[in-house]
Amino acid sequence: MAYGLEFTNNSNVVTLDSEYARLCVMCSGRYAPTEESGLGSTTSFPFTITSTEPPLIFVRPDTTGNISGLCFARVIGSPGAWTGFYVRAYDVNTAQPNGRYFAAAFMATRVATWGMDLWDGAGKLLFDSGTPSALFTRAYQNWTFVKSVPSGGAAFFNYYTVPFNFPANEYMMLNNFSMSMVAGNAPGRLLYCWWDFPSGTLWAITSGTSNPTAFYLPALFAKMNN
């Protein structure tokens, strides 16, 4: 940065400057069943998020069910006008979609009545002292392949695990788990996620007619820094 404002932390890492926005929490709240006999959940944001890219959606299922399974997530809206998100329970044998969420974007919203605002050279608001930031806490990519189970016809379900302790203040990002994965044929692989609270295990499950066992998709976790 040639000029402007810059903050560094005790490790000499830049935490805020006047060129790049940090990841800010746009809104937070709860998601709950709304459709599909309690399996589907559509959540509306309290206001339209105006980022060009879809906001990052982080969720933390409630621990009331033994296993919370999530799949088919998607952000609702279009560039500059994101209005909510959808997520679905894995099936009737897992908990209904109940939990907490927050939506984050690399932009800020003017909410503070006093404090500091910071804009870039093009007039984009980068920082508002009343907007919480989102901090990535950890990522898991060292999945262990457990088993492959045929599901009828030519399809297979592949199961992968990683040990996890599910801290109450950490949320998992849904965006990368909302996309189908590449496989050895055109349909690809569907992707699902289980939060197995009793066993302290995070599961990733893929389904497809082509059956590769390699799986390297990271599970990304973050928390709100209020």
Residue-level pLDDT at 133: 86
* 14 has a pLDDT exceeding 70: no
* 141 shares a domain with 131: no
pLDDT mean over 149-177: 89
* 219 has a pLDDT exceeding 90: yes
Residue-level pLDDT at 66: 83
What does residue 45 show for φ and ψ, rounded to 5 degrees?
A: -70, 150
pLDDT mean over 75-101: 95
Which residue has better confidence, 226 or 204?
A: 204
For 58, the token pair is 């982080």
* 3 has a pLDDT exceeding 60: no
Neighbours of 106 (CB within 10 A): 17
Asked if the structure places residue 74 within a domain, the reply is no
Residue-level pLDDT at 153: 73
Asked if the structure places residue 1 within a domain, the reply is no
pTM, two decimals, is 0.87
pLDDT band at 184 (very low <50, low <70, confident <90, very high): low
Residue-level pLDDT at 186: 64
Residue-level pLDDT at 4: 65
* 146 shares a domain with 124: no
Residue-level pLDDT at 6: 72
- Mean pLDDT estimate for the chain: 87
Which residue has better confidence, 213 or 73?
A: 73
End-to-end Cα, the chain, rounded Å: 27
* 23 shares a domain with 104: yes
Picking from 141, 174, 166, the residue whose alpha carbon sits closest to that of residue 59 is 174
pLDDT mean over 116-135: 80
* 154 shares a domain with 120: no
CA distance 43 to 68: 17
Residue-level pLDDT at 49: 94
Asked if the structure places residue 85 within a domain, the reply is yes
Residue-level pLDDT at 2: 56
Distance (Å) of CA 64 to CA 17, 96, 97, 197:
42, 10, 11, 9
For 104, the token pair is 């984050």
pLDDT digits 0-9 by tens, 27-64: 999 999 999 999 999 999 999 999 999 999 999 999 87
Q: Do β-strands 133-140 and 219-225 pair in parallel, antiparallel, or remain unpaired?
A: antiparallel
* 164 shares a domain with 98: no
* 122 shares a domain with 159: no
- Full domain range(s) for residue 220: 137-225
* 110 shares a domain with 193: no
